[in-house]
Structure 1
Amino acid sequence: MVVNPHRPTAQDREQLFALSLDMLCVAGLDGYFKRLNPAFETILGFTTEELLAAPFLEFVHPDDHDATLAEVARLAAGAQTIAFENRYRCQDGSYKWLLWTATPDPELPLLYAAARDITARKQDEAKIREQAALLNVATDAILVCDLVGQILFWNRGAEELYGWSATEALGQNGRSLLSPNATQAEFEQIQTHLLNQGQWQGELHQATKGQQRLIVASRWTVVRDADGQLKSILIVNTNITEKKQLETQFLRIQRLESIGTLAGGIAHDLNNILAPILSIAQLLPLKIPTADEQIQQLFELLQINARRGGELVKQILTFARGMESKNTVVQIRPIILDIQRILRETFPPNIELSVNIAPDLWTTYGDTTQLYQVLMNLCVNAKDAMPTGGRLEVLARNFEIDESYARMNLEAEVGQYLAITISDTGTGIPPMLLERIFEPFFTTKESQQGTGLGLPTAMTIVKKHSGFLKIYSEVGHGTQVRVFLPASTLQATASEQEMDLPMGQQELVLVVDDEAPIREITQQTLETYNYRVVTAEDGIEAIATYVQNQARVKVVLMDMMMPQMEGIMAIKTLRKINPQLQIVATSGLKVSDKISVAFEEGVKGFLLKPYTAEELITTLQGVLED
């Protein structure tokens, strides 16, 4: 059986023309519509008569006139139009986007055309472009990955944060690109949560194109298609690296504040322990004058280390609580030689140590303990930079800065300086890190090895001494740090030299302290220098003892921190009994408010434990002579 296909009749074509939802028309090359289907009236709102009465160009958006005329010219030349877009005015004054297909009649000056309203599509495209522009304006890194992690979208914020352009990033695996050190288990945990909850958020450690480490707050959201199937993953990453660094610094500062609080109590106890040790060390040579040279050297070593212990406690308080440091003329040579001895005893044998000090090295003015801290810290840093061994050199020279040098170094001033150079043959410091080494808490060491406070503290101390630091470093070759300190015009006093202390005239001194060793050794020291002594272990006993010996007591040595009755209350009571009584306050902790109150109550002097025999006798002599 053969079926003849139905051939469209003229009636079929007319019905199709009339019922089509697309806009169908016949137009002449004279610029007028010749025939329109009803869709024109439906879409544009004009009547057919209105559309036929005017040139069709009057309905075209002015910005599209030239393109429309050019397309008509192409049709007149015999070409066909496929997917030409322009805008037509509606009866209400708005415009609709139309997509045209047209063909010319080869025999007649007519054009047969069909147009489709694509206004909704154009609006969607504009919305998408607007959203894309907003994504690019966003400072957050926004990316879209498929279900296997391949990057499909990469905004400008991602380019700026990570350093890869969109061209470089698209098609790459997001995890391999941004989190190469992350484990498979970490991402499996994220994916499991994402599938169950539809979203995930947390912190990720990532890296940039330049291998800079980042911490980002990451938000992942599942994107589904119209059927509800998983399509892709939208990821928004915010750089919180600086915020996390500030949080870490804040926690460190809190810990330092806690250390400062603890340092006060610890310092008081340590000073009470060191006080009798130092006093005994100074008394032994006087009690055993016939001791041989070796024993005398041991006495001297005991004194030196007891003093250093006391200075170290003061330095802890200076750092933690901001106590005022004690400046004097300082000879750098003994400091360097002392550091050399310690380094030789503590550094590993694979580090060669060389020390070279100019014989005529000038003095400087400052705090001995703080300068000791600076040089020791720099030497330890140099050692840490040579984990497999190397050479550490300490060089101290006189250095005169002229105007030319000062102009090239803004921190320098014309004059005489001590230049102390500490050089190592270690790993060196990369240029990008060299700019940050003086930032508080910045460190390239492991968390258990460094706090990031050593170099900032050294810089602060050197600047406080009106000096400056210069650092030169080459990766793989080592680092050289030069410390410049202004030379002093004053002559240093020989601290190690024995001084002839004035002897007492049998004056009676009341020593008040809750620590028995301190009372005993202070009594022996005073008796050695021809003073008489009575003692009391707290404020209450001190008042009773003074009342019994009021006519004979010339000076009271009063500890400020004691149980039962504190020193301030005891001082006030004693001053009521005798307003002319001479009182010297002592304490293992220099708490400014208590000292101020003590002086307001008439205290004539203050001794910070552990004090030397020289400080004790000199202070008493000054009070008695006042």
Structure 2
Amino acid sequence: MRRQSKSGLNKSKQNLRRRINEPNWLKDEMEADFLSAVLETAGMLVIVLDCEGRIVRFNRACEQITQYSFEEVRGQHFWDIFLIPEEIEPVKAVFHSLRSGHFPNQFENFWLTKDGERRLITWNNTALLGTDGSVQWIIGIGVDVTERMRAEEALKESEERFAGIVSHAREAIISVDESQRIILFNEQAEKIFGYSAEEVIGKPLDILIPPRFTKSHREHIREFSASPISGRGMNERGDIYGIRKDGREFPAEASISKVELRSGKLFTVMLRDITERKQAEERLREQATLLDRAKDAILVRDLSDTVLFWSKGAERLYGWTSDEAVGKNIRELLYTKGDPPPFEQAHKVLAEKGEWMGELRQMTKDGKELTVESRWTLVRNDKGEPKSILVINTDITEKKKLEAQFLRAQRMESIGTLAGGIAHDLNNVLSPILMSIRMLQMRFTDESSQRLLATLRASAERGARMVSQVLSFARGAEGERIAVQPRHLIREIVKILKDTLPKTIDIRFSLPDNLWAVAGDPTQLYQVLMNLCVNARDAMPQGGRLTIETENAYIDETYARMHLDAKPGRFVVITVSDTGVGIPPHIIDKIFEPFFTTKGQGEGTGLGLSTVMGIVRGHGGFINAYSEVGKGTQFKVYLPAIESTEMAQRQEEQGDLPVGHGELILVVDDEEAILEITRGTLEAFGYNVLTASDGTEAVALYAQNKDKIQVVLVDMMMPYMDGPSTIRALQKLNPKVKIIAASGLAANGKAVEAIGAAVKIFLSKPYTADKLLTALAGILKPRPRDGRPTLDG
């Protein structure tokens, strides 16, 4: 329920009283209707009682709070329905006081709802007099303060809980104000320092610090107070010491935090006496002197993996000096890439058996990887309780390398033998085929036969090259990298596809003359494109359209942030798209995993797309997949272009990107990352931006800002309310709305044509910042065009 201020309550009460005191109040139906309207629309509880305490009016707010309707309570004494037993008599006393003329007054009591819940109500009560001066009506105007009461109780409980935690904490907890005077001193602090809380509250913190450290401590507090950080380990500046009531100093470990309060800054120190630990460390150092000459790395760490001792052998092996290592966590020193799998298991075995031995992979100070044979022993104190871990590590890195080399040599020898045998057999198969083709070309001279034989010969020769590639792989050699013009490769693939694919599949391709070259292995790139085309064929069992398109693209920082595998630079983009069955959203992230396939038993190995991914990444590129069930799939292969003077010149000719002048753009997309990056890009280039994560939110925002929004950028594929539906809704609000449609599927470019002239441009995802900015500039500063432009990303 909405709450009113005290002044609001008084004002409403006065208005109601004035209106009710007018002549003929409640004497005719019109006046009764007026009062009913006032009561029902009041934002607070309003109840009117007669002189006997019977309910004569009961507004909607009362009904909502109590769950009783007015008809249920009309004419009944309100204390019989709403009051808890222990408050009936006090409330009756207030009622009689009002009836006797002692008004107005304020009162607070509980009301019982219909389901038995207690609600705390604060009342402003008054009485209305009849013409004879006697009290005729008692009016109560109330506010439900139950939630405030509960909040106060929760705060009190929280404070009590906090006090309990502070009181029984294992660390000394000391809080000081900005003048460094103590305002909190818990029980553990009393035990450590020997003072009672009463002795130190209000005293300066200096009484707990040795005199030789007070100046540096004050400087530290001043610096920390002015810094933006809220917490710090005080031991970062070296060892710290406290001083007990009896004058004895002791080493301590402490951290400090600060909070901003209305009264100023509050500083809290959590401190632990580490006297026993320091003494134990000293004993260990004395004992360890005897171990420094050992070749193995010998170290001791506590149960939380903090290094207590670091031998000379450890210094030689890892490169960290003892001063650098002691006090650090062993995980930070030796496992910068995360704990090795055996680490946690080793702790469990150590706790159960008291010792553990096994191999671990570790890192030296300079980042070199080591393999060590590690032996752990649990050290116990006089009571038999675990207190530290003795570790002896032996470097076996070279030994493991030799073992790996031997195993690799055996494996590669086996693969080489197998590959050699396969290559021999395959070459025996291919040789007569190649020789026969030449004879067949001489015998069958008609154009159709020559074309088929030429295709057969090209395929056989490529098979021979693939056999050679298998041998190269088995011997550990990489594919040859040469300058490759993708146009030639694609023309050859299209020729084969037209001869081999079903006639129900329409093959289209686009090869611009200015396409950049790439550095790659032609056979591997051929394999990539053939794999994608074969997958497209399998996705269109009833026929469809297979399209291969190429373009030059410059990937900017904006696009690279949107796609993890992308890097800024010049790329040749090869797009293979189909109009097949599409890939369901729940499996599209798995399609590049080895052995993942949606084909039936014996129809696919699940290695095709994982091979494609490996080859593309091996060429320094990346690949993106977009799909919509029932509409088709699109793969975009990005391959780094070879640098040339022509490319650099073209980049220079692009000039500065167009900028906005404060125009308001509405961006609609269900991908949060795309919304944020698009917003950042547009705002960086002078636009104001509103964002919506779905069509419903977009329509609501546009309705509120219709006169301000100049262009709407709409994703075509969104849940709930998709792009086309959103565009139609926007057109109803404003038939002249200017829209840029965007989608990862080129097929959606056809879909927007049916929507009308509102869609000015179709952007193919992923789009770069320059294409988005160019599209906006084209809409906001239109030029004569033939048809609707399309900007491919």
Tell me the TM-score normalized by structure 1.
0.33
Tell me the TM-score normalized by structure 2.
0.26
Greater RCO (CA < 8 Å, at least 6 residues apart): 1
Larger of the two Rg values belongs to structure = 1
